[in-house]
A and B are shown apart, each in its own frame.
Chain A
């Protein structure tokens, strides 16, 4: 069965600092991996996805993630944090397309001025 682990329920950074949100997955087959962001009182917005093409995936709002099979990781990064990046970030995995998503527990990103 697929699962994801997000290390750190809260991550605090200063504005302009590097953002690194960690996600490790467990899957019996090459997975599809996703990062979603949830702003307060809103639904989930897709940031980026990995579906077995390029291992370095670029998403919206300057975020990117690298699929590392040897480390079973799909960490999310952004070179310079903005105040507007403060939100809850969820990593998710599915076995293939058109299948249910299994979500991690989420990481709340706090950005201080």
Chain B
């Protein structure tokens, strides 16, 4: 199966700063998604990262706060901008469209973010 990696794996940041999280897949995929998991909570979709075009954001999430890039079929970034303690969460990317695994999302290991 494909390997999905995220960088950084964890970080501690000061409020008001920004952090860019990278998601890399070792094979081309159709879809890439970004989810947020707040402490003790379930996962919520932030946006769908579209290759070559603007991301599609879910209700409650905006591009100015969570800019996303997807320059090719194996890589995407999520930036958490102007951070506040409420942004402390685990951020996970997922991919869909892997060979042998259509209609199934596979998740990266997550990035654990603490904002002070």
Q: Given contacts A32-B103, A98-B97, A105-B42, are A43 and B48 in contact (CB under 8 A)?
A: no
Looking at the assembled complex, report how far the CB atom of B82 sits from the nearest CB atom of chain A, in whole angstroms.
25
Q: Is the CB of B103 within 8 A of A43?
A: no
Q: Is the CB of A101 within 8 A of B105?
A: yes
| Size bracket of the B interface | 20 to 34
Number of A residues contacting the other chain (C-beta, 8 Å)? 21
Looking at the assembled complex, report how far the CB atom of B50 sits from the nearest CB atom of chain A, in whole angstroms.
12
Among residues of A, the one whose C-beta sits closest to the C-beta of B112 is A41
Chain A contacts for B58, CB-based, 8 A: 100
Among residues of A, the one whose C-beta sits closest to the C-beta of B9 is A41
- A34's contact among B30, B42, B45, B104, by CB below 8 Å, is which? B104
Q: Is the CB of A46 within 8 A of B103?
A: no
Query: CA–CA, A103 to B90, complex, Å?
Result: 15
Chain A contacts for B112, CB-based, 8 A: 41
Q: Given contacts A51-B103, A97-B103, A98-B30, are A43 and B109 in contact (CB under 8 A)?
A: yes
Interface of B, helix, strand, loop or mixed by DSSP? strand
Tell me the number of A-to-B contacts counted with CB atoms below 8 Å. Answer: 51
Q: Is the CB of B107 within 8 A of A44?
A: yes
Q: Given contacts A43-B92, A43-B108, are A104 and B42 in contact (CB under 8 A)?
A: yes
Q: Is the CB of A46 within 8 A of B106?
A: yes
Q: Is the CB of B103 within 8 A of A106?
A: no
The answer to whether the Cβ of B87 comes within 8 Å of any Cβ in the partner chain is no
- A97's contact among B48, B96, B110, by CB below 8 Å, is which? B96
Query: CA–CA, A27 to B106, complex, Å?
Result: 22
Q: Which A residues from 71 to 113 make CB contacts under 8 A with B?
A: 90, 96-98, 100-101, 103-106
The answer to whether the Cβ of B43 comes within 8 Å of any Cβ in the partner chain is yes
Given contacts A41-B112, A42-B110, A97-B103, 12 further A-B contacts (CB under 8 A): A34-B104, A43-B107, A46-B104, A46-B105, A97-B104, A98-B96, A100-B33, A100-B48, A101-B43, A103-B42, A103-B43, A106-B42
Please give me the 3 A-B residue pairs with the lowest Cβ-Cβ distance, nearest first. Answer: A97-B103, A44-B107, A43-B109
Taking Cβ atoms with an 8 Å cutoff, the residues of B that contact A are: 30-31, 33, 41-45, 48, 58, 92, 94, 96-97, 102-110, 112
